[in-house]
Chain A
Amino acid sequence: MSDNVKFLQGNEACVEAALYSGMDFFAGYPITPSTEIAEQMAIRLPRIGGTYLQMEDEIASLCAIIGASLTGHKVMTATSGPGFSLMQEALGYAVMAEIPCVIVNVQRGGPSTGNPTHVSQGDVNQARWGTHGDHAIVALTASNHEDLFRVTVEGFNIAETYRTPVILLFDEVVGHMREKLVIPNPGEIPLVERLKTSVKEGIDYHPYLPREDGRLPMSDFGAVHRYNVTGLFHDMWGFPTDNPKIVHGLLRHLVDKIDNNAHKIAMYKDFYVDDADRLLISYGSAARSALHVVENRRSRGERLGLLELQTLWPFPAQIVRERARGMQSVTVVEMNKGQVLEAVKSAVDKPDRVFLANRTDGVLITPTDIRNFLRVIKGKGI
């Protein structure tokens, strides 16, 4: 058997994907259910001359990788709910200062310490609005190891393309589940590398002046251009300003660079959607049960389809609207109180036909759970 075929946990698949992407700097703090990522990084990174750094908390972990990103490295940290809460201020800093970085949140039950060893998808809205102030954000997820690998690589690509933090919003089931992964050969998935400035030494470099395509070429700390990086609103040199025109322009740039490219960032999978009359929308480990239900009902002649979302933010509203059009019902299958449900309702033409099939007790939602919800939605007993 080829060395490329592995049987491993989702957390390990995430490590493989990060290394494939060229990530060579990781800082973290132990927390269930993401700890295996840190443990694997501690083994793997020194072997390739990369850096594994265990910091004093999650705040410091995100701060450290932002610092390392500025010297030109692809960087990552991994955590779960409580640690992700602690990271919110530094996450906003990475948004404002436009620092490429990848933050993994292997979701567990919350609020607070919650249900550390059990599954949840309760951090979807935290990923969207956890840090203060207006901003755009990218959050991706996956339901199986092959997808998790591709989504992770794509996460690094998006971080570099748009100079933004990217959140990989996995969950405990996918993180701890073991299944087969065939690691793609080098070059099989294209990688986006850091866009470096071509401005020569001695010429005034404007670190925060976007090119015509909206991208900002960077100069590494330690290279010939010395500039300022701040979490304050700043001018094209990175120097703080409260000039209303500059403040307005920068905020618009930060939001537009993500929202205007939502169609490029949108990752999703259609299962039996073309001829469906009822649609499930799901993501992460919940989508595994949703797909099981769809295939089971199809075998009985029911025209059920599934839209599996991999990009949660920016919300792929157009894709959802198109898929939901004409459906008798749209049922969002997720393990929270309806966080993606609300985004789906906002996106579709007929929000009164959108229903929730959920479970929030730390147990993976089962195909039977979903089927029972569908019967209730159809007005049948369970």
Chain B
Amino acid sequence: MAIKDYIRERFFPHMWCPGCGHGMVLNGLLRAIETLGMSKNEIVMVSGIGCSSRISGYVDFHTLHTIHGRALAFATGVKMSRPELNLIVPMGDGDALSIGGNHFIHACRRNIAMTAIVMNNRIYGMTGGQFSPLTGYGAMATTAPYRNIDHGFDIVQLAMAAGATYVARTTTYHVKQMTEILRDAIIHEGFSVVEIMSQCPTYFGRKNKIGDAPEMLEWFKNTTTPIGSKAKQEDPSLIERGVFVQKELPEYCSEYAKVVERAMKGRS
């Protein structure tokens, strides 16, 4: 199926700014789904609030555009009521880890089969460039005009500690790796977290004088490195990308099926 068949052309052009990385994530995601040959009827996309979350409107799946930070909670209800559906949950960094931080760690802990995609542009874009829990110490934002004093989360470390069984990081520069990781995350039998560093030239790039989209993509290329690379040993400030965790542990819906089995036996 062509990529075009996965989108709702009626609702284009999209509302993202020129140079925004979120369209690249959309492209990478649809290519991953295309390689898997999944039926559109089997896919439910649940998103929250923010620039990233508008992605759900553009794809021709069952789409649920919810409230700020709660996408994973809605998705948990969909998945538990129809475990055979494939759940994809794209979120922004503020959506997933600030207002939605509690739902994020608990979804990781349950190991419920769904794919959480954190489109991390390190800023609240929709509201105009305020600092998020991923902005990082020393960066500029409209609400950190004298530089940010909040330290950022490491999404990968957080997801691993909380119990996610597939954890990966990539960037919009590394589109081929992005597609491969998303494909593997979607078919993973458990809770998968994919952090995709995505550029916001309008706010993060401009406020922090990194430049426009091409310069930001260059910046992703130059500040990241494959996991365990020699470059990382020489320069610990580099951000590693790749698959950090991929393991098999009991999945939540399967575990609940066992609860049902035990309850039904107990009755007779």
Contact = CB atoms under 8 A, between A and B. Distances in A.
A67 B260 contact: no
Interface string A55-77: 11101110111111111110100
B65 A55 contact: no
A56 B62 contact: no
B245 interface: no
Interface in B236-268: 256, 259-260, 262-264, 266-267
Nearest to A226: B62
Contact of A46 (B42, B57, B67, B260): B260
A177 interface: no
A90 B70 CA distance: 9
B62 A64 contact: no
B37 interface: no
A67 B73 CA distance: 8
A130 to B, nearest CB: 15
B26 interface: no
Interface in A79-99: 89-90, 93
Contact of A59 (B65, B73, B79): B73
Contacts of B266: 47
Interface in A194-231: 221-224, 226-231
Contacts of A226: 40-41, 60-63
B171 interface: no
Interface stretch (B80-88, B206-214, B226-234): B80-88
B65 A229 contact: yes
A221 B10 CA distance: 21
B56 interface: yes
B253 to A, nearest CB: 10
Interface string A240-258: 1000000000000000000
Interface string B5-43: 000101100000000000000000000000000001110
B76 A228 contact: no
Interface string B70-109: 1001111111111011000000000000000011001000
Interface residues of A, number: 43
Contacts of B75: 67
B66 A63 contact: yes
B67 A90 contact: yes
B106 A27 contact: no
Contact of B67 (A25, A47, A231, A237): A231
Contacts of A161: none
Contacts of A224: 41
A264 B260 CA distance: 38
B11 A60 contact: no
Nearest to A89: B67
B65 A68 contact: no
Contacts of B106: 55-56, 60
Contacts of A56: 73, 102-103, 106
> Which of the listed residues B57, B76, B77, B263 has the most CB atoms from chain A within 10 Å of its own CB?
B77
Given A56-B103, A230-B65, A239-B11, A67 B77 contact: yes
A157 B174 CA distance: 52
Contacts of A93: 66-67
Contacts of A240: 57, 65
B267 A47 contact: yes
B44 interface: yes
Contact of A227 (B63, B66, B80, B267): B63
Interface string A258-272: 000000000000000
A55 B262 contact: no
A5 interface: no
A272 to B, nearest CB: 46
Interface in B99-128: 102-103, 106
Interface of B: 8, 10-11, 40-42, 44, 46, 56-57, 60-67, 70, 73-82, 84-85, 102-103, 106, 256, 259-260, 262-264, 266-267
Given A47-B264, A63-B74, A64-B76, 10 more contacts: A47-B263, A47-B266, A60-B70, A67-B75, A68-B77, A221-B64, A226-B61, A226-B63, A228-B64, A239-B57
The 5 lowest CB-CB distance pairs between A and B, nearest first, are A67-B77, A64-B77, A46-B263, A63-B73, A60-B73
17 contacts: A27-B77, A43-B263, A46-B259, A46-B264, A51-B81, A55-B76, A55-B106, A60-B70, A63-B76, A64-B77, A67-B74, A73-B81, A90-B67, A221-B44, A221-B78, A226-B63, A229-B63
